[in-house]
Structure 1
Amino acid sequence: MRAYHFLIILTLLAGCGQNQAPEKQAPAAASPTPPTSPDEVRVSAAQMQAAGLELGSFTWKNLASDVQANGVVDVPPQNRASVSAVMGGYVQSVAVLPGQQVQRGAVLAVLRHPDYLRLQQEYLQSRARVTFLQQELKRQQTLDAEDVGAKRKLQQAQSDYTSEQANLQATAGQLRMLGISLVSLNQGRISPSVTLTAPISGNVAMVRINPGQYVNPQDILVELVDPSHMHLELQVFERDVNQVRKGQQVVFRLPGQRRSPDMTATVYLVGKSFDPEKRTVNVHAHLEPERDDLIPGQYVAAAIQTGAARQRTLPEEAIIQAGEFSYIFAQTAPDTFRRIKVKPGTIENGDVALLLLEPLSDSTHVVQRGAYFLDAELKKGQDAEE
């Protein structure tokens, strides 16, 4: 009897379990609404807090207005030398390396060629002939004074002497250009080689020769640069050149050194002609103070300060560099930010003057810290759509 009651209870319990309503599942979290523009990005409050996003508004400051320019570090023409051979020859040895510092008169290379020997031979022969013709002229002058010799012989002796003397002087000039010592040559010491020496003191910028190579007079063998008077050669667009004046300060930096301290120069000369292709004008600026940590030929990005004006500014970390343009992020809703195109200008104490390329109210909340996080989220969303 007890077993029968136990079976009835089990049956009732099983029926109750089958009639029991299933538990309600928790509703799925709503997916965020996709942005309506490719320049918009949506983030949650937790993401904003984790990224350390800080919002603020534009700050108006009196900053120097400027003209943007690009250019290079350069030296005056007299501080640059290209060394060539006066006469063609074979390179016997090279005494310098690129980057090496040399003093004026230092040996750069040694050349050899049979023509160097022939030229010295011609000089010695011409020198001996001049001596002979000088003595012959004196004899004819003596005979003429005694009315013994013919006038024609005297005139011929005078002509031969003058002609050979001119030939001797020309040959001596060629030897001096080659760097061959006439004092040693007059003592009978003939040199089979010539030495190329540095015409200025400076650094070896380029070496284009090696031993055994044949070089022609038109070939540039070694280039020297004296960096003692470096300056800037800037290119200013034609539309901006009317704002540039002598004496204005130039603030410049090297590409890739955005965080490095700015360097300064002063406008010394504004060109009076422009490049018809680039539509730019050359502006020459002197470094102040002169520096020895720059290299001639380095590219620079410069700002020529033309005056002071009240301008919108944001901190440097609020600006995203993206190729040709720069961007900032403006808040359009509590969880939505829009990328705005801007043109950065003068940088002063970490604040950058901005020219807005899209309309934006001064009261708009702008991201001042964390812009790179939003840029990464924007790109992530674009990649997901693709």
Structure 2
Amino acid sequence: MYLKNISIFSLSVILLLSSCSGKNEEEKTVYENTKFKEKDQSTVQLSVQQMQTVGLTTTTVQEKTMQKLVRLNGKVDIAPSHISSISSIMGGHIKSIHVINGSRFSKGQILAVVEDPQFIQLQQDYLVTKAQLESARLNLNRQKDLNTSKASSDKTLQTAQADYSTLIATLKGLEEKLRIIGINAKGLSSGNIRSRINVYAPFNGFVSKISVNNGQYINPSDTLFELINPSGLLLELKVFEKDINDVKIGQEILVYNNQSPEKKSSAKIISIVPNIENGGSSVAVAKLSSPNHEFIKGMYINAEVTVNSRYTVGLPNESVVSFENKNYIFEELGNKKFKIIPVNTGISDDQFTEILKVENLRDKKIVQKGAYSLLMLLKNKVE
């Protein structure tokens, strides 16, 4: 019985040790495999089929004279001097509105019609004053003749002269009021008196806001429309601190919106705000060289500024890929195997990107076409 217990105990110890030994071997294997995978995360191996699908090509670092291209972004705005609030010179009821929000108009176009009896009264006062002035002129001439022959006193002549001068001033004032509300006093007669006046567009532009409706009574101080003159269109561009010394007043830039990046318009920087904001950027203000009706207030836009050129070393843009705000290239190792290499980039243009510290890359084959596909394959491999 005692020997039997010893045997059972011995067997248990052996099994326990065997179990522990097996567990240690398993952990060792897992650890080694993990180390291999971490080491292998910088390379990707392609099959023959993958090579054919991706269509890889390679290149080498190239020496080239490159221009620094500063890319900016911002919004379209309008200079305050080119935003106009339009009102009626005199109050009245809105009879009709001839535009809608967003309508484009030409200078002199009728925007709205206002009606009120006071317009009739103003024209009537003008015609009555005009008639009185003619009568006063005849009276003044008569008094002059009478005074010459001493048939009338100097006082009577002076009164006639004062009446005539007063009526001239009154008529001129009424004529100016009629001109302001759009009525030509020279062509006014009792047969063409009207109760309505037109509100005209003062320039070419478009309507950004309508504040009235038909039948509404408006006062002279009420705003009817907000009009925008596109010639005052400005581009407010964000310039980061690292580029602030490369952006100058007077520089020509190319501007485009996100909807039509291939359509680039010329503009010129006219002002730079001498202040770095909390986000580490300043603001450059530019003006289009010629009108572009596709640009509207509030639209997000992009700009490119070409600055001084320099002799440097770089790679085609498609060779450089970005991941998590870092730049990489792929080196061909042979046997359909590729290694990812982090790089620091400098200036860039439409075709090439400057690569900094290229001493270890000069004799290496660098992937050109297919670099992004390799990045995706490597990313999926890591995940």
Task: Specify the TM-score bucket, using the shorter chain as the normaliser.
Answer: 0.5 to 0.7
Q: Which secondary structure does the structure 1 equivalent of 2:349 belong to?
A: strand
Q: Report the counterpart of residue 223 of structure 1 in structure 2.
A: 227
Give yes or no for contact 1:303–1:346 (8 Å, CA) kept in 2.
no
Give yes or no for contact 1:251–1:265 (8 Å, CA) kept in 2.
yes
Please give the alpha-carbon distance, in whole angstroms, between the structure 2 residues aligned to 1:151 and 1:114. 43
Q: Report the counterpart of residue 212 of structure 1 in structure 2.
A: 215
Change (3 A) 1:208 1:243: closer
User: 2:134 matched to 1:131?
Assistant: yes
Q: Report the counterpart of residue 4 of structure 1 in structure 2.
A: none
Q: Report the counterpart of residue 5 of structure 2 in structure 1.
A: none
Please give the alpha-carbon distance, in whole angstroms, between the structure 2 residues aligned to 1:372 and 1:256. 24
Counterparts in 2 of 1:23-172, with a 5 A limit? Answer: 43-46=44-47, 49=51, 56-70=59-73, 83-98=86-101, 100=103, 102-172=105-175
Q: Report the counterpart of residue 6 of structure 1 in structure 2.
A: none
Please give the alpha-carbon distance, in whole angstroms, between the structure 2 residues aligned to 1:270 and 1:293. 20
Per-residue CA shift, 1:280-303, capped at 9, x if unaligned? 45454625xxx7664354554222
User: 2:178 matched to 1:175?
Assistant: yes
Please give the alpha-carbon distance, in whole angstroms, between the structure 1 residues aligned to 2:45 and 2:87. 70
Structure with greater helix percent: 2
Q: Which secondary structure does the structure 1 equivalent of 2:188 belong to?
A: helix
Per-residue CA shift, 1:167-195, capped at 9, x if unaligned? 21111111111112324532442211111
Change (3 A) 1:281 1:233: closer
Please give the alpha-carbon distance, in whole angstroms, between the structure 2 residues aligned to 1:122 and 1:136. 21
Give yes or no for contact 1:55–1:369 (8 Å, CA) kept in 2.
yes
Change (3 A) 1:181 1:266: closer
Q: Which secondary structure does the structure 1 equivalent of 2:289 belong to?
A: strand
Per-residue CA shift, 1:43-100, capped at 9, x if unaligned? 5534974655656554332222344444667899999876442223332112234555
Per-residue CA shift, 1:292-336, capped at 9, x if unaligned? 66435455422233332234544444555789x674445699666
Please give the alpha-carbon distance, in whole angstroms, between the structure 1 residues aligned to 2:322 and 2:215. 51
TM-score (normalised: structure 1) = 0.65
Please give the alpha-carbon distance, in whole angstroms, between the structure 2 residues aligned to 1:55 and 1:67. 28
Q: Which runs of 5+ in 2 are unaligned?
A: 1-28
Could you tell me how far 1:144 is from its partner in structure 2? 1.9
Give yes or no for contact 2:319–2:369 (8 Å, CA) kept in 1.
yes
Question: What amino acid sits opposite 2:199 in the alignment?
Answer: L
Q: Which secondary structure does the structure 2 equivalent of 1:153 belong to?
A: helix
Q: Report the counterpart of residue 308 of structure 2 in structure 1.
A: 307
Please give the alpha-carbon distance, in whole angstroms, between the structure 2 residues aligned to 1:75 and 1:197. 22
Please give the alpha-carbon distance, in whole angstroms, between the structure 2 residues aligned to 1:169 and 1:360. 86
Give yes or no for contact 1:81–1:199 (8 Å, CA) kept in 2.
no
Could you tell me how far 1:107 is from its partner in structure 2? 2.4
Could you tell me how far 1:276 is from its partner in structure 2? 4.2
Change (3 A) 1:354 1:56: same
Q: Report the counterpart of residue 266 of structure 2 in structure 1.
A: 265
Per-residue CA shift, 1:90-139, capped at 9, x if unaligned? 32112234555544433222122333233223323322332333233233
Aligned residues: 339
TM-score (normalised: structure 2) = 0.65
Could you tell me how far 1:219 is from its partner in structure 2? 1.9
Which has the larger displacement, 108-117 or 310-319? Answer: 310-319
Which has the larger displacement, 332-341 or 129-138? Answer: 332-341
Q: Which secondary structure does the structure 2 equivalent of 1:186 belong to?
A: coil
Which has the larger displacement, 213-222 or 115-124? Answer: 213-222
Give yes or no for contact 1:73–1:300 (8 Å, CA) kept in 2.
yes
RMSD between superposed Cα atoms in Å? 4.7
Q: Report the counterpart of residue 274 of structure 1 in structure 2.
A: 273
Q: Which secondary structure does the structure 2 equivalent of 1:199 belong to?
A: coil
Q: Report the counterpart of residue 12 of structure 1 in structure 2.
A: none
Please give the alpha-carbon distance, in whole angstroms, between the structure 2 residues aligned to 1:360 and 1:151. 109
Q: Which runs of 5+ in 1 are unaligned?
A: 1-26
Give yes or no for contact 1:328–1:371 (8 Å, CA) kept in 2.
no
